[in-house]
Amino acid sequence: MSKKIRVRFAPSPTGGLHLGGVRTVLFNYLFAKKMGGDFILRIEDTDQTRFVEGAEQYIMDTLTWCGLTPDESPFTGGPYAPYRQSERKAIYRQYAERLIESGYAYYAFDTPAELEQMRNDFKTAENPSPQYNHRIREKMKNSLTLSASEVESLLTTGTPHVIRIKMPEHETITFTDMIRGEVSFQTAQVDDKVLLKADGMPTYHLAVVVDDYLMKISHAFRGEEWLPSAPVHILLWKYLGWENDMPEWAHLPLILKPDGHGKLSKRDGDRLGFPVFAMDWTDPKTGEKTIGFKERGFLPEAFVNLLALLGWNDGTDQEIFSMAELIEKFSIERVHKAGAKFDYEKAKWFNAEWIKQSSIFSLQSSIEKVLSDAGIQVDDKEKLAKVIALTKDRCTLLTDFVQQAGFFFKRSETIDLAAIQPKWDTAKKAFFTALITAYENVNHWEATELEKICKELATTHQLKPGELMLPLRIMLVGGKFGPGVFDIAAILGKEETVNRIQKVIALLQ
List residues with catalytic annotation. Answer: 266
Q: Which stretch binds ligand GLU (CB under 6 A): 10-18, 148-156, 193-201, 279-287?
A: 10-18
Nearer to ligand GLU, 46 or 396 (CB): 46
Nearer to ligand GLU, 208 or 498 (CB): 208
Binding mask 179-208 for ligand GLU (x = CB under 6 A): -------------------------x---x
Q: For residue 475, give Cα distances in angstroms to 92, 424, 438, 467, 504.
A: 71, 13, 16, 14, 6
Binding mask 145-184 for ligand GLU (x = CB under 6 A): ----------------------------------------
What strands lie across the sheet with 105-108, from one edge to the other?
105-108, 162-165, 194-196
Residue of closest CB approach to ligand GLU:
222
Cβ neighbours of residue 324 closer than 8 Å, sequence gap 6 or more: none
Q: Which stretch binds ligand GLU (CB under 6 A): 8-16, 147-155, 304-312, 449-457?
A: 8-16
Find the shortest distance in angstroms from Cβ 204 to ligand GLU: 6
Find the shortest distance in angstroms from Cβ 33 to ligand GLU: 19
Nearer to ligand GLU, 11 or 292 (CB): 11
State the Cα–Cα distance between residues 115 and 122, nearest whole angstrom. 11
Q: Total residues contacting ligand GLU (rule CB under 6 A)?
A: 8
Environment class of 473 (CB within 10 Å of its CB; exposed 0-12, middle 13-18, buried 19+): buried
Find the shortest distance in angstroms from Cβ 332 to ligand GLU: 14
Phi, psi at residue 342, to the nearest 5°?
Answer: -90, 130
Find the shortest distance in angstroms from Cβ 490 to ligand GLU: 53
Binding mask 297-316 for ligand GLU (x = CB under 6 A): --------------------
Type and span of the H or E element at 492: helix 485-492
Strand partners, 108: 142, 162
Q: Which of 7, 10, 304, 405 binds ligand GLU (CB under 6 A)?
A: 10
Residue 491 · residue 386 · CB < 8 Å: yes
Nearer to ligand GLU, 145 or 229 (CB): 229
Nearer to ligand GLU, 214 or 430 (CB): 214
Q: Does 492 bind ligand GLU (CB under 6 A)?
A: no
Q: Which of 6, 25, 28, 44 binds ligand GLU (CB under 6 A)?
A: 44
Positive or negative, the CA dihedral 91, 92, 97, 98 is: positive
Q: Which stretch binds ligand GLU (CB under 6 A): 4-12, 88-96, 328-336, 404-412?
A: 4-12
Find the shortest distance in angstroms from Cβ 58 to ligand GLU: 14
Residue 264 · residue 255 · CB < 8 Å: yes
Find the shortest distance in angstroms from Cβ 99 to ligand GLU: 19
Site for ligand GLU in 428-457 (CB under 6 A): none
Nearest CA to 9 out of 59, 47, 52 is that of 59
In b/e form, how buried is each residue of 203-223, taking b as 16+ CB within 10 angstroms? bbbbbbbbbbbebebbbbbbb
Cβ neighbours of residue 48 closer than 8 Å, sequence gap 6 or more: 86, 199, 201
Q: Does 224 bind ligand GLU (CB under 6 A)?
A: no
Nearer to ligand GLU, 212 or 353 (CB): 212
Find the shortest distance in angstroms from Cβ 225 to ligand GLU: 8
Residue type, 381: K
Q: Which stretch binds ligand GLU (CB under 6 A): 9-17, 309-317, 361-369, 400-408?
A: 9-17
The separation between CA 99 and the C-alpha centre of its own chain, rounded to angstroms, equals 38
Find the shortest distance in angstroms from Cβ 246 to ligand GLU: 13
Q: Does 222 bind ligand GLU (CB under 6 A)?
A: yes
Nearer to ligand GLU, 234 or 370 (CB): 234
Q: Which of 6, 7, 12, 457 binds ligand GLU (CB under 6 A)?
A: 12
Nearer to ligand GLU, 10 or 488 (CB): 10
Q: Does 11 bind ligand GLU (CB under 6 A)?
A: yes
Find the shortest distance in angstroms from Cβ 29 to ligand GLU: 14
State the Cα–Cα distance between residues 447 and 125, nearest whole angstrom. 78
- Strand segments, DSSP code E, in 46-180 are 105-108, 162-165, 172-177
Residue type, 115: L
In degrees, to the nearest 5, what angle opens at C-alpha 124 toward C-alphas 122 and 127?
Answer: 90
Nearer to ligand GLU, 332 or 474 (CB): 332
- What letter would DSSP give residue 462? T
Q: Which stretch binds ligand GLU (CB under 6 A): 6-14, 159-167, 332-340, 492-500?
A: 6-14
Angle subtended by helix axes 381-391 and 360-373, to nearest 10: 100
Find the shortest distance in angstroms from Cβ 83 to ligand GLU: 13
Question: What number of other Cβ atoms are within 10 A of residue 425's Cβ?
Answer: 9
Cβ neighbours of residue 254 closer than 8 Å, sequence gap 6 or more: 20, 223, 224, 225, 263, 264, 339, 340
Cβ neighbours of residue 279 closer than 8 Å, sequence gap 6 or more: 16, 17, 58, 61, 62, 65, 292, 293, 294, 295
Q: Which stretch binds ligand GLU (CB under 6 A): 7-15, 53-61, 295-303, 317-325?
A: 7-15
State the Cα–Cα distance between residues 467 and 445, nearest whole angstrom. 23
Residues that bind ligand GLU (CB under 6 A): 10-12, 44, 204, 208, 222, 226
